[in-house]
Chains A and B, each alone.
Chain A
Amino acid sequence: MTEKHSLTLTVNGQTRRCEVEPRMTLADCLREKLDLTGTHLGCEHGVCGACTVIVDGAAIRSCLMFAVQAAGTEITTVEGLADGDELSVLQQAFHDNFALQCGFCTPGFLTTAETILKENPSPTRAEVQSAISGNICRCTGYVPIIDAILEAADRRRKGEK
């Protein structure tokens, strides 16, 4: 049973099929089997948050979940956040606030922030700071990321999509 399992996942609204060993992490499955390389590996032990994806609405560390565990779930990765060519309000807010430099941690922040804002559309600055404390950035010093998330919340409350 260490041999490959046939796996069907729903990723970014699409049904995807692949064959995986049980030990293949969801992160590696996305990156290697499904060619969705936007989800990044920063530590592979659940600390840095670069691998964060949304599984059934919850932000989780895809390096700590095996792909076989994701069968039957709905997964959203960074590739699924934009609407075609149009950046989401959150992505646009990151761009407008210079909330990324090297971009490596960015997908994990975006997926995490999407779930934060869904649960709490009007977070305070302190709530945002705490909610993203499980994502590490080495470049920006976090300030513009927090600004961007608050601005996205504000824009959404004003009715932007």
Chain B
Amino acid sequence: MKPPKFDYFAPDSIESALALIREHGGDARFLAGGQSLVPMMNFRVAAPSALIDLNGIAALRGITVDDNGCLHIGAMTRTREIETDTEIAAANPLLHAAAPSIAHIQIRNRGTIGGSLAHADPAAELPGIVVVCDAEINVIGPGGTRCIAAKDFFEGIFSTALQDGEMISEIVFPPWPAGRRWAFREISRREGDFAMVGIAGWFDTNENGAISAAGLAAIGAGDTPLRLPSAEVALIGQAPGDAVFTNAAAAAIDDLQPGSDIHASAAYRREVGGVLVERVLKTAWQRPALEATA
């Protein structure tokens, strides 16, 4: 399982990386963490003519929280950094909590958030998190920079809104309110495997104790990560509680568009997706209590 030949470049700036991909055309690919691309090359199902290695570009790294409380994560940030970084744990605990579910340590040591989003596996965790958090994906390419909302970024299985020659430079997460409840649950065949179905969720409550905002997204239940608007609508204005959560879970099932594969049928993903919505909401509601014992 040896990969086919390719030209290799290791630029140290975004500009030179963009110039290289322009120069080498359609069969050239960016190389981020390589944890998805290189297996495909070893199987010879991907055969880029050239690899432009982004690992040496310092400008693509970095984790900062700006004055507005927005979390900026450079595209080449390793998943392992997301798992261990204390700033991220505070600025977006949902993202932080999802990271350990991504494969295994050795993969997380190389895999990057930009790479995961660009690869757009429908069962991957990070696409689900950016969608549920309404993150923005900053992209740079021959036409300059642009900002793509997460909900518009994923177009299909392994397919994104990235145009030829574009790369993700940064992912920006909106501020995370202090009292927000959240949880992430996935079902996989083994720990670290791609999810058969997974749910990421959060909600905020107002001074009356009613749910004022909510976000729920499913992975593994469609061609892309899916927001679950029917469930979100069912939560808004309600006081959190078991009956409300059950109701929202039942509504969520209509938003799921799962397929079948050898690991799980569509029926399973749909059914268990609903179960996980309920569990996520219940766990989220217990979040302050969970925090207290942590």
Contacts and interface: CB of A to CB of B under 8 A. Distances in A.
Interface of A: 1-2, 5, 21-23, 25, 28, 44-46, 49, 52, 58-61, 63-66, 68-69, 112, 115-116, 130-131, 133-134
B5 interface: yes
Contact of A134 (B2, B10, B39, B107): B107
Interface in B1-50: 1-10, 34-35, 38-39, 41-43, 50
Interface string B46-74: 00001101010000000000000000000
B53 A69 contact: yes
A25 B38 CA distance: 10
B34 A23 contact: no
A63 B42 CA distance: 9
A23 B53 CA distance: 12
Nearest to B55: A69
Given A61-B110, A64-B110, A131-B105, A23 B6 contact: yes
A44 B41 CA distance: 10
B35 A46 contact: yes
17 contacts: A2-B5, A5-B8, A22-B7, A23-B41, A44-B42, A45-B42, A46-B39, A46-B106, A58-B110, A59-B105, A61-B35, A63-B42, A65-B34, A66-B8, A112-B106, A115-B105, A130-B191
Interface residues of B, number: 33
Contacts, number: 93
Contacts of B35: 46, 61, 64
B145 interface: no
B192 interface: yes
Contacts of A28: 2
B185 interface: no
B4 A23 contact: yes
Contacts of A44: 1-2, 39, 42
Contacts of A45: 1, 39, 42-43
Contacts of B38: 25, 46, 63-66
A21 B4 CA distance: 11
A23 B43 contact: no
A68 B192 CA distance: 28
B146 interface: no
A65 to B, nearest CB: 6
A132 to B, nearest CB: 9
Contacts of A59: 105-106, 109
Contacts of A66: 8, 34, 38, 51
A22 B106 contact: no
B282 interface: no
